[in-house]
Amino acid sequence: DIHMTQSPSSLSASVGDRVTITCRASEGLNGWLAWYQQKPGKAPKLLIYRVSSLQSGVPSRFSGSGSGTDFTLTISSLQPDDFATYYCQQYKAYRTFGQGTKVEIK
Amino acid sequence: QLQLQESGSRLVKPSQTLSLTCVVSGGSISSGDYAWSWSRQPPGRGLEYIGYIYHGGTTYHNPSLRSRVTISMDRSRNQFSLKMTSVTAADTAVYYCAREKVGDDGGYFDNWGRGTLVTVSS
């Protein structure tokens, strides 16, 4: 199994801050990585696929980057609606998720 | 607009079988561009992939669950189902159905159901 490790597990930030979340895979993913946002009591929402492709309807303040085993989700200017938990997911070999990063209000 | 809605047993006794169905509206589960999948999330924890079924009937199950899981589909009703046998308290979770993009660049989930909490308890 490919293991996914996110860091940090939680962070506190203010509206307008630039936020970066990291995801590391136990082996190279050849770019098969997605990011999701989940709010309490709600289903996950696809933000980004194929490392950096923005899903339709997702604000452009979200971006993804990385290669090999190391990937990053960046929120360029945090908005009130962005306080949530974020998950990375690999789809090189079957499907596994990171453990999540909770973005809280500072 | 595609919608997925889970339904089924919310309370299951230990050692019994969990049964869930996902009804799909606004799109056909016979589409060759997508597979139909299940994931789960124990309370306060992260997401775990259970498996998928493709329109031709091909299935994949998480190796850690494979021997207990059956995923099937009913094209006439545009729905797919999950059965998990011999459940324990560790199977208590919110269960989500989702549409999974397949093909050369596929493997991610672009539409999800709202999820249903299944509790395993006597």
Question: A91 touching B, CB under 8 A?
Answer: yes
B105–A89: do the CB atoms touch at under 8 Å?
no
**Count of C-beta atoms within a 10 Å radius of residue B25:** 11
Burial of A18 (C-beta count, 10 Å sphere; 0-12/13-18/19+): exposed
Question: A46 touching B, CB under 8 A?
Answer: yes
CA distance B88 to B90: 5
Q: What integer pLDDT is reported at residue B36 of this predicted model?
A: 97
Q: Cα dihedral angle (A29, B110, B21, B36), rounded to 10 degrees?
A: -50
A49–B108: do the CB atoms touch at under 8 Å?
yes
Q: What is the mean pLDDT of residues B91-98?
A: 97
Q: What integer pLDDT is reported at residue B108 of this predicted model?
A: 96
Check whether B19 has a pLDDT greater than 90. yes
Instruction: Report pLDDT digits (tens) over B20-37.
Output: 999 999 999 998 889 999
Q: Are strands A70-75 and A45-49 parallel, antiparallel or unpaired?
A: unpaired
Q: What integer pLDDT is reported at residue B103 of this predicted model?
A: 82
Instruction: Report pLDDT digits (tens) over A70-80.
Output: 999 999 999 99
Sign of the Cα pseudo-torsion (B74, B113, A24, A47, in order): positive
Distance from CA of A34 to the nearest CA of B (A): 7
CA distance A77 to A89: 23
Sign of the Cα pseudo-torsion (B12, B37, A20, A61, in order): negative
Q: What is the mean pLDDT of residues B95-108?
A: 91
Q: Which residues of A touch B105 (CB under 8 A)?
A: 49-50
**Which has the closest alpha carbon to A28: A2, A1, A57, A58?**
A2
Token pair of A56 as six digits: 């339709």
The strand pairing partners of A85, in sequence order, are A38, A102
Q: What is the mean pLDDT of residues B99-118?
A: 93
Distance from CA of A44 to the nearest CA of B (A): 7
Token pair of A98 as six digits: 């990171």
Instruction: Report pLDDT digits (tens) over A2-56.
Output: 999 999 999 999 999 999 999 999 999 999 999 999 999 999 999 999 999 999 9
Best probe of the A interface among B109, B111, B117, by most A CBs < 10 A, is: B109
Instruction: Report pLDDT digits (tens) over B42-81.
Output: 998 999 999 999 988 899 999 888 689 999 999 999 999 9
Please name the member of B47, B60, B105 whose beta carbon is closest to the beta carbon of A44: B47
